[in-house]
Amino acid sequence: MTNILITGAARGLGFELARQFAEQGERVYATCRNPQAAEALRNVAEASEGRLTVHRMDVGDMASVKACAEELKDVDIDILINNAGVWGGLDTQTFQNMDYDNWARELNIMLMGPFRVMQNFLPHVRRGHDKKIVSITSQTAAHAYDHLIGYSYATAKAGLNRAMTALAQEMQDEDLIFTLLHPGWIKTDMAGDVADLEPADAARDNIVAIRNLTKEDSGKFRKWDGGIHPW
Ligand SMILES: NC(=O)c1ccc[n+]([C@@H]2O[C@H](COP(=O)([O-])OP(=O)(O)OC[C@H]3O[C@@H](n4cnc5c(N)ncnc54)[C@H](OP(=O)(O)O)[C@@H]3O)[C@@H](O)[C@H]2O)c1
């Protein structure tokens, strides 16, 4: 059995990853910022016979991250998935019209958030078997992506990418695996119905990609289908 911690598991991709990993018999620590409001997740937990538990963690708040790390201090984590994310909408993150408060919020949640989580949960992952840290990033962070981007979102994810490659380099002599995953364009609240993939299908493929990661993938940028993503 693999111990998996997922951030932002209340809905969207995080919810599906949590649900499916538990269905596959793994032990899932599903974290979210408001467990009270996460009814679907709590229902999965209730039906899981203890394989999935719900824990409060707001990745934007250091005290909350520290409290969750302390609550789970005796748990060895095999796979840590930085999934929580926010999208403030394209209209308010263009060159002409930038909402700087939203930019700060996106940086806090999608760049500093995973950093806080990794800082506080590294001891748990070091004790785990797989020692995988997967950060869900976005194709829009890639220089190779040549469509219109939301500047706040894309730069937050690009910063995350750089932090992950630096961590992979800094800890290359350990068994730790730091990998970036573009999860596909998914029909969640974030992307809406115009996107390509159903959340359940995307989660299934992302799970296969995560299971297949090896030390060779540390510092790499991969896609939901297991392929390499161009930088
Ligand atoms: N959907 C796509 O096409 C797509 C493409 C590329 C990358 N991604 C990335 O995939 C990940 C999942 O996105 P999604 O599509 O599932 O989006 P989503 O449906 O909007 O879900 C986002 C999740 O993040 C959580 N979250 C937001 N702020 C948080 C915080 N401060 N602390 C903890 N959790 C927080 C939300 O929790 P609440 O319910 O509490 O708000 C929610 O569970 C994100 O990192 C996103 O950037 C998505």
Which residue ranges make up each domain of the chain? Answer: 3-223
Give the pair of three-digit tokens for residue 52: 């999935």
Residues 6 or more apart from 56 whose CB is under 8 A from it?
31, 32, 33, 34, 35, 64, 67, 68
Give the mean model confidence (pLDDT) for residues 163-190.
98
Average pLDDT for 171-186? 98
SS3 27: strand
For residue 113, the CA-to-ligand 1 centroid distance in Å is 12
In this structure, which residue's CA is closest to atom 44 in ligand 1? 85
pLDDT band at 226 (very low <50, low <70, confident <90, very high): very high
Substitution site in 109, 157, 189, 190 for ligand 1 pocket (most atoms within 8 Å of beta carbon)? 190
Nearest atom in ligand 1 to the alpha carbon of residue 187 is 1
pLDDT of residue 63: 98
CATH architecture assignment, domain 3-223? 3-Layer(aba) Sandwich (3.40)
CA distance 180 to 215: 13
Instruction: Indicate the pLDDT class of residue 155, thresholds 50, 70 and 90.
Output: very high
